[in-house]
Structure 1
Amino acid sequence: MLRLLKFLKPREWFFFLINVVFISTQVFLDLKIPDYMTQITQILQTNGSLGEIINIGIRMVICALGSLGAAIICGFFAAKIAAVFGKRLRGTVFNRVQEFSKEEIKQFSTDSLITRSTNDITQIQMIIAIGAQMMIKAPIMAVWAILKIYGKNWQWSLTTGIAVLIMMVVIAIIGIFALPRFRRVQKLIDSINRVIRENLTGIRVVKAYNAEEYQENKFEKANEDLTKNNLFTGRLMGMLNPMMRILMNGIGLAIYWMGAYLIYNAGYMEKINLFSDMVVFTSYATQVVVSFMMLTMIFIMMPRAQVSANRINEVLDTKPSILDGDVTEVKDNIGEVEFKNVCFKYPDAEEYVLKNINFKVKPGETLAIIGSTGSGKSTIVDLIPRFYDATEGEVLVNGINVRDYKLNILDNYIGYVSQKTILVSGTIRSNIDYGDNGKGNITDEAIQNALEIAQAADFVNKLEDGVDSYVAQGGTNFSGGQKQRISIARAIARDPAIYIFDDSFSALDLKTDKMLRQALDRETSHATNIIVSQRIGSIKNADKILVMEDGEMAGLGTHEELIKDCKVYQEIAYSQLSQEELA
């Protein structure tokens, strides 16, 4: 928890010091009121004038209003400190997650990262807001009140001490049972977050298979676990309020009971002093109990915040496995991609996914990658933009190992269209002119040209707002084929040196597929094209075709060469096309 305080800048520490000043003022004014009560008691017992009582009463009202004003100012600064802290911490966590590769994302899981970036930070923000008040106010008030009652009467002091001890024991017992439950809360929130996200993401499959009841039961279990945990802790914490009230009323009753006995056995003048001390002592003793109650409440809340802080520190302490290199500029072989004896296995996996992959694609050439499901096609293209790093061997872009590039420079060479179509909320224009391509903003002409090449201009121009038409989150207001074409247009608009299409034409009909590829051949003939596909008819004109089987190269060559010599390619080809079509 203390490590996260580094996110408080000098300005917030200055606000914190202001808070200390106003809290001290508030405590002083709160503890000044019992002194005035003593004076009023003495005036009443000595038959003083009404004017004196009114004068002291006005001072008490001023102290009460001053205390209220100080409390409002303290609340304002505490909220400001907590809000700025939360904003800065959320930004830091978000930026760190942006640096993660797929390896780190899988290590935490998406659901857990969402909880850590939201609920966990909220827990810490709450403890900062409360801590900026209670954690300062409680010890100041406790010490000040104890000094006020010190030496007044040992019987009353002993009663106050016993009350504080009972309160500590009760809170310790509650804490023993509640703290383990607090530690479980964040993991249970992760779980319910995961179930909700799964349901929303796969809502079509859920409905198609009539699996609503199954999903409801799954959610019900996660919700039940979280509810039971919160009910248990809530009931335990709910016991604190009546216990504190019993203690505070009990201590007042005990002090008055002892006071009555002491006053009864005292002399006349001593009776007056004892009565005044008893009234004041009751107020101060209550303040002492309240102070210790605030401290113990903080200590009970702290473990949950500490769990959240540990979870956030795990994210911040995780070093990205994909690090920047030093290369910022390349002048030769722009667009060339080469794999040299590349082997790859996923972190913590025993078996290699790729084994001894070797090929070279020069600018102006098209490499197609084909193979059965799970043969390693997508993994190959994932190594080029460094979503993962090769376990063995070298992946070269422009003749330079991809590990040596600064990541943003490497990304600017690549136009990547993923297997899963990703559109972000906004407009068609903002989805195409997306990110930094190292060349500045993309012009309207370039956007229109990209849409035409991607065969998307027809449906986009028919929309009421054209390229400024609204895109819902995930592109849910477009069909699968429309989303794919917009994603392809996004890559084309960057005008990169290397195009990577990871099975990016699967949602297109054969006619659109053919037209799109013909347009790509014309417009991207200067660039390197790497295409992952399942369709022989779509890739047979490629300059090179890489055939994959079980993570190994089963063949590399042209369509004509492979149809003669590569058994795996022959099986794929004959399963899709007749011999006449292949001829």
Structure 2
Amino acid sequence: MAIVYGRYVRNITRNLLDKFANISKSVEERLGNIKTVKGFCKEQEESKAYEILLTDALNLGYKEVQARSLFFGLTGFSGNVIIISVLYYGGILVISDALSIGALTSFILYAGYSAISINGLSNFYTELNKGVGAAQRVWEILDRQYSIPLHTGFVPKTPPRGEIKFENILFSFPSREESIILNNFNLTLLPGETTAVVGRSGSGKTTISTLLLRLYDPLQGQVLLDGIDIKELNPIWLRSHIGAVNQEPTLFSGTIRDNILYGLNPGTKVNEEAFADAIRKAHVDEFASQLPNGLNTLVGQRGMMLSGGQRQRVAIARALLKNPAILILDEATSALDSVSEELVQNAIEQVSKGRTVLTIAHRLSTIRNADKIAVLENGSVVEQGRYEELITREAGAFRELVRKQAFMVNS
């Protein structure tokens, strides 16, 4: 009975921990997006959804208590029945002079000690199974193997020149293997040049930067850096030479200065001159100087104390401080007003010199001066060239994008 009960408790404990994990995830997600919740008047719905999650966890807790009560109730009842049976049969033996009262008393005393020990073992077995149920999740995580090991691969002695080639790439995310994102994708990025990738939403533009950072490996094809497949390179070395500014930059709780210094590679000392140059080129100093604590101003969780444009400029400064050979700009000026966008765009053009720059573009103003524009459709490059060349093609894909106002053209 103890074995059956132990297995049952183990499964309940595991399911209960899963419920608690879902509750924590739900609370963190909703509180992190509280503005959206309030904006759509979803307070009551979210409260009800949270109540449902708590009720599910509570019901599992009830099941555990019921099983525990049944198990210990049965074991206690069984023990009492055994003691009564021993007293009854022992009394008969005493009456018939087959057993002395002292021997019967000694037997009952020793049996009681044994029962207490067995009960302790039952409790231990129960808690052990609860611990095993909880530890199974930890073991699953510990037993996982990195799909992309961090500490293996070739580490070149010199920084990369920055020539990047995507050759016959086929890619889909592991969670959606049936949905092909990139198919027969080919593109070359030359050192010192800016390549802009444009296309409709969902065409796979941002996925290109994901593959370049080697957050995922393609199903087929290869990504080459200076003629070397990046699968052969050490991932940490590779990423240390790539700076990225995303469309929705992520900041950490701390000060503005801390978030900018986050861009330094491990083991690199702070160069105050380079730091000052980065905040000046990204125009961080313009808004930081107006804050009471300047660069030591706390940005809050995910940078919520700053505006979208301010977060964007902090992220740009962070990438500039890294001084990478390769720069990825996933619509890095998307959250800026027209004045700030022009200033930052000029700064980006200055720091892009001598670097390989991949720009994921959504609006026309960010790609006019690109050395090459690649148009993406259905996961493949269907057209590439300079802006002046592509815009004059009557039936060209790029001209069609502009005509349909796929880009937000600044007036």
Which TM-score tier does this pair reach, normalised by the shorter chain? Answer: 0.7 to 0.9
| 2:378 is equivalent to residue 547 of structure 1 | no
Deviations 1:109-167 (A, max 9, x none): xxxxxxxxxxxxxxxxxxxxxxxxxxxxxxxxxxxxxxxxxxxxxxxxxxxxxxxxxxx
Give the whole-Å Cα distance in 2 for the aligned partners of 1:432 and 1:557.
35
Cα gap change, 1:436 to 1:290, in 2 (>3 Å): farther
Tell me by how many angstroms 1:522 deviates: 1.7
TM-score by length of 2: 0.87
| 2:51 is equivalent to residue 213 of structure 1 | no
Query: Match for residue 28 of structure 2?
Result: 197
Deviations 1:451-509 (A, max 9, x none): 22112111223333322222322112222221121111111111111111112221111
Deviations 1:193-233 (A, max 9, x none): 34323322332222111112222222222222211121122
Query: Match for residue 156 of structure 2?
Result: 329
Aligned positions, number: 407
| 2:339 is equivalent to residue 511 of structure 1 | yes
Tell me by how many angstroms 1:187 deviates: 3.3
Residue among 383, 396, 400 paired with 1:567: 396
Give the whole-Å Cα distance in 1 for the aligned partners of 2:7 and 2:265.
56
Indicate the structure (1 or 2) with the bigger Cα radius of gyration. Answer: 1
Cα gap change, 1:391 to 1:531, in 2 (>3 Å): same
Query: Match for residue 365 of structure 1?
Result: 193
Residues 260 and 318 in structure 2, CA contact (< 8 A), matched pair in contact too: yes
Residue among 471, 476, 481 paired with 2:309: 481
**Where do residues 196-345 of structure 1 align in structure 2 (5 Å cutoff)?**
196-241=27-72, 274-275=101-102, 277-323=103-149, 325-329=152-156, 331=158, 334-345=161-172
Cα gap change, 1:173 to 1:328, in 2 (>3 Å): closer
Give the whole-Å Cα distance in 1 for the aligned partners of 2:67 and 2:373.
67
Deviations 1:299-352 (A, max 9, x none): 344444334333333323332222355321154761222222323223362353
Residues 183 and 303 in structure 1, CA contact (< 8 A), matched pair in contact too: no
Cα gap change, 1:525 to 1:439, in 2 (>3 Å): farther
* 1:369 aligned counterpart, secondary structure: strand
Residue among 502, 518, 527 paired with 2:355: 527
* 1:508 aligned counterpart, secondary structure: coil
Residue among 330, 337, 341 paired with 1:502: 330
Residues 454 and 489 in structure 1, CA contact (< 8 A), matched pair in contact too: yes
Residues 429 and 447 in structure 1, CA contact (< 8 A), matched pair in contact too: no
Cα gap change, 1:380 to 1:180, in 2 (>3 Å): closer
Tell me by how many angstroms 1:542 deviates: 1.0
* 2:358 aligned counterpart, secondary structure: strand
Query: Match for residue 9 of structure 1?
Result: none
Cα gap change, 1:368 to 1:302, in 2 (>3 Å): same
Residues 333 and 344 in structure 2, CA contact (< 8 A), matched pair in contact too: no
Give the whole-Å Cα distance in 1 for the aligned partners of 2:306 and 2:143.
40
Query: Match for residue 398 of structure 1?
Result: 226
Tell me by how many angstroms 1:256 deviates: 5.7
Tell me by how many angstroms 1:356 deviates: 2.5
Cα gap change, 1:416 to 1:227, in 2 (>3 Å): same
| 2:294 is equivalent to residue 454 of structure 1 | no
Percent identical residues: 30
* 1:364 aligned counterpart, secondary structure: coil
Q: What letter is aligned with 2:34?
A: I
Q: What letter is aligned with 2:20?
A: I
| 2:387 is equivalent to residue 556 of structure 1 | no
Give the whole-Å Cα distance in 1 for the aligned partners of 2:282 and 2:177.
38
| 2:269 is equivalent to residue 441 of structure 1 | yes
Higher relative contact order (CA 8 A, sep 6+): 2
Cα gap change, 1:178 to 1:387, in 2 (>3 Å): closer
Q: Which runs of 5+ in 2 are unaligned?
A: none
Give the whole-Å Cα distance in 2 for the aligned partners of 1:337 and 1:557.
17
Give the whole-Å Cα distance in 2 for the aligned partners of 1:245 and 1:392.
64
Give the whole-Å Cα distance in 2 for the aligned partners of 1:179 and 1:314.
15
Cα gap change, 1:485 to 1:530, in 2 (>3 Å): same
Cα gap change, 1:333 to 1:281, in 2 (>3 Å): closer
Residues 153 and 235 in structure 2, CA contact (< 8 A), matched pair in contact too: no
Tell me by how many angstroms 1:576 deviates: 4.6
Give the whole-Å Cα distance in 2 for the aligned partners of 1:216 and 1:581.
42
**Where do residues 129-144 of structure 1 align in structure 2 (5 Å cutoff)?**
none
Cα gap change, 1:280 to 1:502, in 2 (>3 Å): farther
* 2:359 aligned counterpart, secondary structure: strand
Tell me by how many angstroms 1:535 deviates: 0.9
Q: What letter is aligned with 1:326?
A: G
Residues 433 and 441 in structure 1, CA contact (< 8 A), matched pair in contact too: no
More helix by share: 1
Give the whole-Å Cα distance in 1 for the aligned partners of 2:23 and 2:90.
56
Cα gap change, 1:341 to 1:259, in 2 (>3 Å): closer
TM-score by length of 1: 0.63
Tell me by how many angstroms 1:446 deviates: 2.3
Cα gap change, 1:346 to 1:470, in 2 (>3 Å): same
Residues 333 and 363 in structure 1, CA contact (< 8 A), matched pair in contact too: no
| 2:215 is equivalent to residue 352 of structure 1 | no
Q: What letter is aligned with 1:346?
A: F
Give the whole-Å Cα distance in 2 for the aligned partners of 1:581 and 1:232.
62
Residues 363 and 526 in structure 1, CA contact (< 8 A), matched pair in contact too: yes
| 2:305 is equivalent to residue 471 of structure 1 | no
* 2:178 aligned counterpart, secondary structure: coil
Q: What letter is aligned with 1:285?
A: A
Q: What letter is aligned with 1:343?
A: L
Tell me by how many angstroms 1:450 deviates: 1.4
Q: What letter is aligned with 1:574?
A: R
Give the whole-Å Cα distance in 2 for the aligned partners of 1:291 and 1:414.
63
Residues 498 and 529 in structure 1, CA contact (< 8 A), matched pair in contact too: yes
Tell me by how many angstroms 1:189 deviates: 2.9
- Greater shift, 286-295 or 193-202, is seen at 193-202
Give the whole-Å Cα distance in 2 for the aligned partners of 1:245 and 1:516.
76
Deviations 1:88-114 (A, max 9, x none): xxxxxxxxxxxxxxxxxxxxxxxxxxx
* 1:440 aligned counterpart, secondary structure: coil
Cα gap change, 1:252 to 1:197, in 2 (>3 Å): same
Tell me by how many angstroms 1:280 deviates: 4.5
Cα gap change, 1:505 to 1:279, in 2 (>3 Å): farther
Q: What letter is aligned with 2:52?
A: K
Query: Match for residue 35 of structure 1?
Result: none
Q: Which runs of 5+ in 1 are unaligned?
A: 1-168
Residues 370 and 548 in structure 1, CA contact (< 8 A), matched pair in contact too: yes
Residues 206 and 330 in structure 2, CA contact (< 8 A), matched pair in contact too: yes
Give the whole-Å Cα distance in 2 for the aligned partners of 1:479 and 1:449.
22
